[in-house]
């Protein structure tokens, strides 16, 4: 007896509309008795979310770092006399 091919149970929203429909992919995994395709497998989704989160964190950290750098620069530059501000030789290495 052949087992019926289960479909993914996930509802998906069509892009550009509010209608949701069932995912049309064949199920690859069963989680808590529900069938999911490779894309909607909660484990795979969690993994993707985590990767997304990590990328986002990296981006945020980079921004924070940049902000810190700017603050330090501002702090370092605050004692430069106004008449020396136009003198780029102060800031540039030869
Ligand atoms: Zn699916």
pLDDT digits 0-9 by tens, 41-92: 999 999 999 999 999 999 999 999 999 999 999 998 888 888 888 776 656 6
Residues 36 and 48 both lie in one domain: no
Residue 91 lies in a domain: no
Domain around 49: 43-79
Cα separation of 32 and 54, whole Å? Answer: 27
Residues 60 and 72 both lie in one domain: yes
The residue among 6 and 85 whose pLDDT is bigger is 6
Residue 19 lies in a domain: yes
Q: Judge contact between 67 and 40, C-beta under 8 A.
A: no
CA distances for 94 relative to 23, 65, 86, 90, angstroms: 63, 27, 17, 10
Residues 1 and 35 both lie in one domain: yes
- Distance from the alpha carbon of residue 53 to the mean position of ligand 1, in angstroms: 22
- Distance from the alpha carbon of residue 7 to the mean position of ligand 1, in angstroms: 8
The pLDDT score that the predictor gives to residue 3 is 57
Average pLDDT (14-18) is 79
Number of domains in the chain: 2
- Distance from the alpha carbon of residue 23 to the mean position of ligand 1, in angstroms: 5
Q: What is 2-18 written as a DSSP string?
A: PPPPPBP--EEEPTTSS
- Distance from the alpha carbon of residue 14 to the mean position of ligand 1, in angstroms: 13
Pairing of strands 20-22, 34-36: unpaired
Average pLDDT (16-30) is 90
- Distance from the alpha carbon of residue 75 to the mean position of ligand 1, in angstroms: 53
């Amino acid at each position: 007896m052949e087992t019926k091919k289960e479909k993914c149970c996930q509802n998906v929203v069509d892009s550009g509309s509010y209608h949701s429909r069932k995912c049309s992919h064949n199920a690859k995994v069963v989680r808590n008795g529900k069938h999911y395709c490779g894309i909607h497998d909660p484990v795979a989704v969690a993994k993707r979310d985590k990767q997304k989160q990590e990328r986002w964190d990296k981006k945020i950290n980079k921004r924070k770092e940049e902000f810190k750098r700017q603050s330090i620069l501002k702090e370092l530059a605050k004692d430069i006399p106004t008449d020396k501000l136009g003198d780029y030789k102060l800031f540039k290495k030869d």
